Amino acid sequence: MEILVVGLNHTTAPIELRERLNVPEADLPKPLEMLGNSPELVERMLVATCNRVEIYGVAEGSVEKAVEAITDCLASHRNVEKALFADKLYTHTAAGAVRHVFRVASSLDSMVVGEPQILGQVKTAYSVARSQEAAGVILTNLMEQAFHVAKRVRSETGIAASAVSVSSAAVELARKIFGDLTGRSVLIIGAGEMAELALRHLLDDGVRSVLVANRSYDRAVTLAREFCGRAVTFEAFRQEMVAADIVISATSAPHLILKKEDVQIIIQQRRHRPIFLIDIADPRDIDAACNEVDNVYLYNIDDLKSVVEANLKERQREAERAELIIEREVGVYLDWLRSLDVVPTIVSLRQRVEDIRGAELQKAITRLGDLTPEQREAITAMSHAMVNKILHQPMTELKRRAALQDGHLYTSVLRRLFGLEERDK
């Protein structure tokens, strides 16, 4: 049997194609059922996100036929011609497949390395496969090992410790200024998408009250309602800054809306309590000279992008550490997988020797004539002891060799020497 991965992702296929082949969570059982009709695939699960569509399977017999069955299933289920995506598919088998699954679960194969969503998506896909009885012993062990690896990567590296988006970088800087953000207040000036995203991150970190100022007051009301906040008129935003700890400005104004002299007045009214200004407008909303005022911390879009770039480099360094963890864990899983081949051989060998022992023991007892129960017990015990001692070394060596690359050769030779193939037919 062979573990395999067949799929495409953001590195091999454009988003238009990924969208056409994507399978919503509610529809996952159908392709699993379709793949169940393929005799080559004894286990299967399907991971489908906006960035990837992948089938993890266990093939028995022809891997090529299993890959063909998977390709046919994707084409048929999503009504997409194979010619449109066949050359975008990648196939991994054996150690390559195990490594790929571990990298996906650990977010090393993601568009943004270290993003946390993919692990939950893999867990969902596995849960669906289990509910459809499509995941057996091998995929179950593979997934449990993958989740263990992902946990190790998260806990033993800093792969997800730093912000890698402009909005999350803004929150990271806010935490450096204020420490705990719980109970802090934020004022949004403008109601653009990036400001809204930064606001969501801040709320996740415990920011308490939200004020929204926008030239279109109706738009301010709509956004404020969405975040259980309060809308204020655009003309009043300077007065509202007196009570705000964090200000995010993202208007489309062609000129500065906040100057150094404005901030000097505001900081005096705040009794010099720190204020964090995030200017993510282009062109800028806030005069760079505001940063010269004590207890005013101003960051613009370029500052935030610099933080993101530095964090991405740090994540890449941490990803290299994560790759080492994955390589070790791939070896652990392959050791377990190879050990599966040796178990039936050990069982067959012991049964073969036990059959011989039982037959010869019976012959010996018959020839010896009348024996006391104690004598019978002693002879039987001796035969068991001899068998155990004779089998101990070859079985120990077979188990040890099973974890090595050439373990299957030893298993094959032993089965031939003892005629176990004929016995198991």
Which string of DSSP letters, residue by residue, matches 130-191?
Answer: HHTT---HHHHHHHHHHHHHHHHHHHHS-TTSS--SHHHHHHHHHHHHHS--TT-EEEEES-
The identity of residue 207, as a single letter, is V
Close Cβ partners of 47 (under 8 Å, ≥ 6 residues apart): 7, 53, 54, 55, 56, 104, 121, 122, 125
pLDDT given for residue 164 in this prediction: 74
Q: The domain 2-156 belongs to what CATH superfamily?
A: Glutamyl-tRNA reductase, N-terminal domain (3.30.460.30)
Q: What is the pLDDT of residue 112?
A: 78
Instruction: Calculate ∠ Cα 114-118-119, nearest 5°.
Output: 95
Q: 370: which DSSP letter?
A: S
Question: What is the pLDDT at residue 134?
Answer: 95
Cα→Cα distances 414→109, 344, 354, 399, 407, Å: 41, 12, 16, 12, 11
Active-site annotation holds for 50: yes
The radius of gyration computed from the CA coordinates of the chain, to the nearest angstrom, equals 33
Question: Nearest 5°: phi and psi at 270?
Answer: -85, 0
* Cβ 138 vs Cβ 337: under 8 Å: yes
| Token pair 């990298």: residue | 103
- Which CATH architecture best describes the domain 178-305? 3-Layer(aba) Sandwich (3.40)
Q: Report the C-alpha gap between 160 and 16 in whole angstroms.
A: 28
- SS3 state of residue 32: helix
pLDDT of amino acid 117? 86
CA angle 306, 200, 118 (to 5 degrees): 75
Residue span(s) of the chain under CATH 3.40.50.720 come to: 178-305
Q: How far apart are CA 120 and CA 398, in angstroms?
A: 39
- pLDDT at res. 58: 94
CA distance 423 to 425: 6
- The reported pLDDT for the residue numbered 192 is 72
Buried b (16+ CB within 10 A) or exposed e, 214-252: beeeeebbebbeebebebbebeebbebbbebbbbbbbbe
CATH 3.30.460.30 in the chain: give the residue spans: 2-156
| 8 Å CB contact between 258 and 228 | no
- pLDDT, one tens digit for every residue, the chain (425 residues): 799 999 999 999 998 999 999 999 999 999 999 999 999 999 999 999 988 999 999 998 899 999 999 999 999 999 999 999 999 999 999 999 999 999 999 999 988 788 888 999 999 999 999 999 999 989 999 999 999 999 999 999 988 877 677 777 888 888 889 988 999 999 999 877 777 877 888 888 888 899 999 999 998 999 899 989 999 999 999 999 999 999 999 898 999 999 999 999 999 999 999 999 999 888 899 999 999 999 999 999 888 888 888 888 888 899 999 999 999 999 989 888 877 766 677 778 888 888 899 999 999 988 888 889 899 899 999 998 998 898 888 878 777 776 555 666 777 787 788 888 665 55
Give the DSSP H or E segment for 122: helix 117-131
What is the torsional sign of CA 186, 189, 190, 192?
Answer: negative
| pLDDT value of residue 165 | 75
